[in-house]
Chains A and B, each alone.
Chain A
Amino acid sequence: MMNFRSEGKALALAAAIAGGVLLATLGAATVMRGRVQSQQHLAARTAVGGGSQPMMVAAEKGRQLFLQSCAHCHGDDARGDDGPDLHNLRISDAHVALLIKNGIKGDMPSFAKKHDDADIAALTSYLRTLH
């Protein structure tokens, strides 16, 4: 076992290693996070790019609306936070629109007053790009 005569040296060593590990972890996470987000963005663009120009515009508008109204519960990347992950939704567009309009009692507020049908269609278009 190491036996440091000076507690100060041991403290400096401990602080340096712990700080280094923490910084390296958070730094690596930040780098990886950036990569994941750019991959997601590329995937979304590719998915939307397969459709028509109006679809791309709608999905982009939907993304902006999502960031304004939904991201604080579902996360900026829609991977879920307080609310669930919204990738690969297996419900119909009509069902998505209904949930956004009416909300879910006790879980999610209604957005009927905040967003009209065009907004909800844009949001749905955006959600369909999430795989």
Chain B
Amino acid sequence: MFGGDEMWTRLHGATTHFPIALLLTATALETLALLPHRAAQRWQREWRAVSRWLLGIGAVSALPVVFSGLALSRWNAGGQGLLWKHHLFVWPSFGLLIALAIWRIAVGESASRRSVIIYFLMLLVAAGCVAAAGFWGGELAASHG
């Protein structure tokens, strides 16, 4: 892919699944914490704490992914065709992931319910973006062999 830059291809492939999995799991746990069911409510604090740290680790793990991806595409942050579609979702998800992780860790458990709802909605947007970025990244990898 992209001229046979084996190292960047391998590094991007090896690291790319961490932020995707961590963000999606954090979103799933945050969803659990919002469920009205009593069993879900009992573990609400724990769901949120785990979700918060998964998001933080996800944000850190996104850095090598972005670096290796840029090196792989010869520092092309835009591109055309599948690469453009991939980047269209990569940049919003990267920005949102970092912003949401910092905000969540900074406010800790002192966030108001209204803020948590807005945070959750933004988390869903980030999860959607990262899923789309992953999909187009997969298509890109498949098309280049």
Chain A residues with a Cβ under 8 A of chain B: 1-5, 7, 9-11, 13-15, 17-19, 21-22, 25-26, 28-33, 35-36, 71-73, 75-77, 79-82, 84-85, 87-88
Contacts and interface: CB of A to CB of B under 8 A. Distances in A.
A69 to B, nearest CB: 14
Contacts of B143: 82
A30 B77 CA distance: 7
Nearest to A6: B107
A36 B8 CA distance: 16
A73 B79 CA distance: 10
The dominant DSSP class at the B interface is: helix
B99 A15 contact: yes
A87 B3 contact: yes
Interface in B87-114: 91, 94-96, 98-103, 105-108, 110-112
Contacts of A1: 105, 108
A81 B75 contact: no
Contacts of B70: 25, 29, 32
Contact of A4 (B95, B99, B107, B145): B107
A18 B102 contact: yes
Contacts of A19: 95, 99
B107 A36 contact: no
B38 interface: no
Interface pairs A-B: 3 shortest CB-CB: A18-B99, A32-B75, A14-B103
B66 A14 contact: no
B3 A79 contact: yes
The dominant DSSP class at the A interface is: helix
A105 B98 CA distance: 44
24 contacts: A1-B108, A3-B106, A3-B110, A4-B106, A4-B108, A7-B107, A7-B111, A10-B107, A11-B103, A14-B100, A18-B95, A18-B99, A22-B98, A25-B94, A33-B75, A73-B80, A75-B80, A77-B74, A79-B74, A81-B79, A81-B82, A85-B2, A85-B3, A88-B3
Contact of A2 (B2, B79, B108): B108
Contacts of A25: 66, 70, 77, 94
Contact of A21 (B74, B79, B98): B98
A71 B83 CA distance: 13
Contacts of A88: 3
Contacts of B111: 7
Contacts of B82: 81-82
